[in-house]
């Protein structure tokens, strides 16, 4: 990467934004509404900012920040000035995976379009727009002290580590999903190759209850993996044998990017959720001794936790909430 020498060995990593403007249109997973979205370049230190273009006047701008999260039921929703923008986690994961620090995201509704239920379409958009370095060093949040949050059998934690890495475990009573675990070091290419294509998933009986309650109106086999008994209803089946835990890692990457900068540390999730991921960030930032803001070097992009692969077993265990 470009930039000035930080030490004799390590080169400074610079902030990045989009090279050009790019747009897409899709369906809101929970609203069922057709939504247009446009990604714009932004100046250094802007961060990721959402703008609701369907709101009268100049629109409402909502920073992509952990303290702006107002709802975590079924998705991560940000809010400001009485307006919200929901289902931001897949797009945030794509921006994190592409290393985009600054962007303005204009959305013509209250929800980011779900596309195919993964981050891959958003990553494709970013690659089509192009990514350019900016004339300012990239900041990162280095974890100094371990923090964790627990909710019953669910847990999420951050510990000090080189680079950024994650591990995640899920347990479902479904014979299709069962118990899955994965460890991933976020080195170059890993997000695109291992995580981006993993889709959101859920069980048919729960989807039917949501539809009956007027929720998840846009959910379909086009944008979610749907499991019924011992069958995957999607004609093409799973993209990975362990697609579900990979999607949970995708969600965690998106939720954690709401920290406002990349995290340098190791994340562990055991049946974690959007709510627990947000609670973890709030716990991290509750004490200034837990972290420090640093300028990134290329050494920070090389996680010492390499791709650990995944373990995948089918067994009957306690079920977790399914729509993820």
Contact status, residue 203 vs residue 322, Cβ threshold 8 Å: yes
Partners of residue 153 on adjacent β-strands: none
274 an active-site residue? yes
Catalytic pick from 30, 40, 90, 274?
274
Return the active site residues.
274
């Amino acid at each position: 990467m470009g930039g000035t020498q930080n030490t004799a060995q390590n080169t400074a990593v610079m902030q990045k934004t989009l090279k050009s403007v790019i747009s897409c249109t899709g369906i809101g997973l929970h609203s069922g509404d057709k939504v247009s979205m446009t990604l714009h370049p932004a100046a250094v230190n802007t961060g990721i900012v959402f703008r609701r273009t369907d709101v009268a006047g100049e629109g409402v701008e909502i920073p992509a920040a952990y303290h702006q999260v107002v709802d975590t039921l079924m998705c991560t929703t940000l809010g400001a000035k009485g307006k919200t923008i929901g289902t931001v986690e897949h797009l945030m994961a794509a921006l994190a995976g592409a290393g985009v620090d600054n962007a303005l995201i204009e959305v013509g509704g209250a929800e980011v379009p779900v596309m195919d239920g993964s981050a891959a379409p958003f990553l494709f958009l970013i690659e089509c727009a192009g990514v350019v370095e900016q004339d300012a060093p990239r900041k990162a949040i280095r974890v100094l002290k371990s923090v964790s949050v627990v909710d019953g059998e669910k847990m999420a934690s951050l510990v000090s580590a080189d680079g950024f890495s994650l591990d995640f475990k899920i347990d479902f009573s479904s014979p299709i999903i069962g118990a899955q675990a994965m460890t991933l070091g976020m080195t170059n290419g890993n997000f695109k190759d291992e995580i981006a294509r993993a889709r959101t998933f859920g069980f048919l009986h729960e989807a039917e209850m949501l539809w009956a309650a007027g929720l998840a109106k846009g959910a379909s086999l086009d944008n979610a993996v749907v499991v019924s008994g011992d069958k995957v209803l999607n004609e093409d089946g799973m993209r990975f044998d362990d697609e579900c835990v990979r999607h949970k890692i995708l969600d965690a990457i998106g939720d954690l990017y709401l920290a406002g900068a990349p995290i340098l540390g190791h994340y562990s999730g055991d049946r974690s959720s959007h709510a627990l991921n947000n609670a973890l960030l709030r716990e991290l930032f509750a004490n200034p001794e837990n972290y420090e803001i640093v300028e990134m070097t290329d050494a920070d992009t090389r996680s010492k936790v390499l791709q650990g692969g995944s373990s995948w077993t089918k067994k009957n265990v306690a079920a977790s909430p399914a729509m993820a």
